[in-house]
Amino acid sequence: MADKMHIKLTVNGTEEEFLAEPRELLIYTLRERLNITGPHIGCETSHCGACTVTIDGKSVKSCTMFAVQASGKDITTIEGLGTPDALHPLQEAFKEHHGLQCGYCTPGMITRAAKLLEENPNPTEEDVRFGIAGNLCRCTGYQNIVKSILAAAATMNADASSSSDAIGQTKVEAAE
Amino acid sequence: MIPAAFDYHRPTDMAGVLSLLSEHGDDARVMAGGHSLIPLMKLRMADVPHLIDLQDVEGLSGIDVGETIRIGAMVTQADIIDHTGLTASAPILREAALQIADPQVRYMGTVGGNVANGDPGNDMPGLMQCLDAQFTLVGPDGERTVPARDFYEAAYMTERGDEEVLTSVSFAAPKGGYAYEKQKRKIGDYATAASAVQMTKDGGTCTSASIAMTNLSDTPIFSENAGAALAGSTVDETAIKAAVAAALADIDPTEDNRGPVAFKMHVAGVILTRAITRAWSRA
Ligand SMILES: Cc1cc2nc3c(=O)[nH]c(=O)nc-3n(C[C@H](O)[C@H](O)[C@H](O)COP(=O)(O)OP(=O)(O)OC[C@H]3O[C@@H](n4cnc5c(N)ncnc54)[C@H](O)[C@@H]3O)c2cc1C
Ligand code: FES
Ligand code: FES
């Protein structure tokens, strides 16, 4: 039996330290050890994307990484993206545009979409479909998921341009 | 799905990797992105008592673009897609990488893992044969290079020794037109048939053609005869047909859940025709 190892992760801004066997998959660490149950187990075979989290800026299927591999890294799950009172624009858009039915795929889908929009803030419909190809949904037929992501992109861009207007405004005021 | 227990090592230099490999022999295996190895460990089809994670090993990343292009073993498929210099110089890499798996897998899957794995379904080995790439291996006896075209022996059997690590792939910057064409059952799937083609031309005549195929035998297949059928021709219908026939004569697909042999031969013909036509239109 392999010795347990000391593992240190930052999950949604909180440092977590524990001892675990090297064979412990990250999805189990999150769900069962840390009680972070947003990331789901769908297929457990690296195909469905329900377990998607962001690790040091990459979308990763956490059923296909050992916790010890992630030691020292920064992890964001759906729990780190918004709160019930202040939803992330993607969460708001999924709610508004019926981007979910049973909701099983949703945490992975939104976590992936957040990364996609960070890399490509102005995606076309095709970019969105290609960018979420690693996330399967058995309910929606994807139509409303794509719609939600495009709507969130529009909101986020509008927010960004109004806040950069605001910055511009302050600069003008400062110059005066 | 929980793999059998193992010891985990994360050395920071190649000397550390090599000493672990020589200490544990057959019981040790290196891991790059883990996206081929971990699924096998979960299914208990791979038993790895000592897992050596390469993520912190120095000197395995980086892409150098010049007359010779060198790609470090730990460069991921996502890194390839994002690298504008590489895309300008060897656009076939990005075209192929975009057809591998899905975004999540491409953040993790590495060039070294893809070419060293030896799975006939992997897309990079055929691509590397088309580009006539050299693989650099480091082992207890030092460094050596092996041509991609001589590297693959059978499914999961390669020229790499158990105590060797693949550190980089390199190839001359390709010239002319290119295409990586892949038929798959769904996005994210391995190829039913795929083909990598590079072609050069002078006036209306093809001066050279390099053609390799993925998942149509138990190894990637470089078809010298297919290339020869195009060189010197105007790449008209007759020449394309001759090249496709030559390529099909070099493969030996097996029946599996992607279809029977006759279907695979048919799909291979379609894919080859498309790849040649597209590469020629870009030459
Ligand atoms: C859902 C899914 C779909 C996929 N679809 C495709 C596809 O369409 N096309 C495709 O090509 N691939 C596909 N893959 C495989 C993916 O691209 C793999 O990640 C890749 O083949 C292996 O790279 P890796 O870095 O993950 O290697 P690992 O899994 O870490 O290693 C694979 C093997 O190579 C060995 N190895 C790794 N690095 C080295 C090295 N530097 N030197 C010596 N040996 C080494 C390991 O010991 C192991 O035996 C898919 C994977 C998944 C999970
Ligand atoms: S549970 Fe990880 S990809 Fe399906
Ligand atoms: S909403 Fe049910 S799987 Fe996507």
For each of the domains in chain B, give its residue range(s) and CATH number, in order of start: 7-53 (3.30.43.10), 63-172 (3.30.465.10), 177-282 (3.30.390.50)
Half-sphere exposure of B196 (CA within 13 A, CB side): 30
Total residues found in chain A within this entry: 176
Sign of torsion, CA B168 B93 B122 B54?
Answer: positive
- Write the pLDDT tens digit of every residue in B232-277: 999 999 999 999 999 999 999 999 999 999 999 999 999 999 999 9
Task: Determine whether the shortest distance from the Cβ of A43 to ligand 3 is under 6 A.
Answer: no
Does residue A166 carry a pLDDT above 60?
Answer: no
Residue pair B39/B31 in contact (Cβ under 8 Å)? The answer is no
B32–chain A nearest CA distance, Å: 11
A25 touches chain B (CB under 8 A): yes
Please list, in sequence order, all residues whose beta carbon lies within 8 angstroms of the beta carbon of residue B180, skipping any fewer than 6 positions away. Answer: B92, B95, B96, B99, B123, B127, B194, B195, B196, B197, B275
DSSP-derived letter for residue B199 is: E
Does residue B36 carry a pLDDT above 70?
Answer: yes
Does residue B29 carry a pLDDT above 50?
Answer: yes
**Predicted complex: ipTM over 0.90:** yes
List, in order of start, the domains of chain A with CATH numbers: 1-80 (3.10.20.30), 81-171 (1.10.150.120)
Contacts of B6 in chain A (CB under 8 A): 2, 22-23
- Write the pLDDT tens digit of every residue in B74-125: 999 999 999 999 999 999 999 999 999 999 999 999 999 999 999 999 999 9
Task: Please name the residue of chain B whose CA is at the shortest distance from the CA of residue A70.
Answer: B55
Total residues found in chain B within this entry: 283
Does residue A25 carry a pLDDT above 80?
Answer: yes
- Write the pLDDT tens digit of every residue in A32-89: 999 999 999 999 999 999 999 999 999 999 999 999 999 999 999 999 999 999 999 9
pLDDT computed for residue A159 by the predictor: 86
User: pTM for the complete prediction?
Assistant: 0.95
> Which amino acid is residue A172, in one-letter code?
V
**pLDDT mean over A140-145:** 97
Which ligand 3 atom lies nearest to the CA of residue A102?
2
Of A2, A49, A69, the CB nearest to B104: A49
pLDDT computed for residue A170 by the predictor: 45
B47 touches chain A (CB under 8 A): no
Residue pair A18/A68 in contact (Cβ under 8 Å)? The answer is no
Q: For chain B, list the strands marked E by DSSP.
A: 7-9, 28-31, 50-53, 63-64, 68-72, 134-139, 142-147, 152-154, 157-158, 165-172, 177-184, 191-202, 205-214, 221-222
User: Nearest to residue B163, comparing CAs of B8, B24, B2, B9?
Assistant: B24
- CA-CA distance, A137 to A114, in Å (whole number)? 17
